[in-house]
Amino acid sequence: MSKGIQILLDSNRGIYIPQHFAEGFAMQCTDGEGWEGISEKDRETLLAGTDADWYWEAWEDVLNCATYTDADGNVWRLYQDGDLFAICDELMTDDDYMAFFGEPRE
């Protein structure tokens, strides 16, 4: 797999991927490194589990807004297609992008 694509959670977790993401990954940015763009309300909703009102809406917000800046300044975003991935466009080659997404980079 490309160094610009990292699997975070596999699809075996099913509907619990959002909850497990909220439980297992740093949700706030610290010292310039970490996940940003996740509201405390969305985080609490995901932590409450699949029976929580607005669980899927909160997850959609996280998928659309969350970014992670690593120690080297690379910005990662979330992508879910069964498995949950962290994707860094800058670290992916055009071939990596084509192999992963099945279409050329624009």
Q: Residue 79 domain-assigned?
A: yes
Domain containing residue 34 = 5-101
Counted domains in the chain: 1
Q: Render 68-85 in DSSP notation, one character per residue.
A: EE-TT--EEEEEEESEEE
What pLDDT tens digit does each residue of the chain (106 aa) get?
679 999 999 999 999 999 999 988 756 555 555 688 999 899 999 999 999 999 999 999 999 999 998 888 899 999 999 999 999 999 999 999 999 999 998 8
Q: Residue 21 domain-assigned?
A: yes
DSSP H or E stretch at residue 32 = none
| pLDDT of 18 | 96
pTM for this structure?
A: 0.88
Q: Residue 106 domain-assigned?
A: no
Q: Residue 67 domain-assigned?
A: yes
Cβ-in-10-Å burial (0-12, 13-18, 19+) of 68 comes to buried
Strands, E assignment, the chain: 5-9, 34-36, 67-69, 75-81, 83-87
Q: Residue 32 domain-assigned?
A: yes
